Amino acid sequence: MGDGKLEKVLGNIILDQEWIALMKEAKEIGLTLEEIRAFFHIERKK
């Protein structure tokens, strides 16, 4: 924490506001949780 990014502390979890915005955008365009997970799985293999 303290690196200049807006962060929200939820219990012991720190949520980056940019990450939250990306997940909201994915939901708004209709991506399913499975599609998001598949994307990250593919990207991790690269």
Question: What would the DSSP string read from start to end of 1-46?
Answer: --SSS-EEEETTEEEEHHHHHHHHHHHHTT--HHHHHHHHHHHHH-
Joined together, the tokens standing for residue 18 give: 């940019």
Tell which wins on pLDDT, 3 or 23: 23
Contacts of 36 by beta carbon, 8 Å cutoff, 6+ apart: 23, 26
Per-residue pLDDT tens over the stretch 16-46: 778 888 889 999 999 998 998 898 888 777 7
Domain borders along the chain are: 7-45
Q: Which helix (H) or strand (E) holds 6?
A: none
- The whole-model pTM stands at 0.56
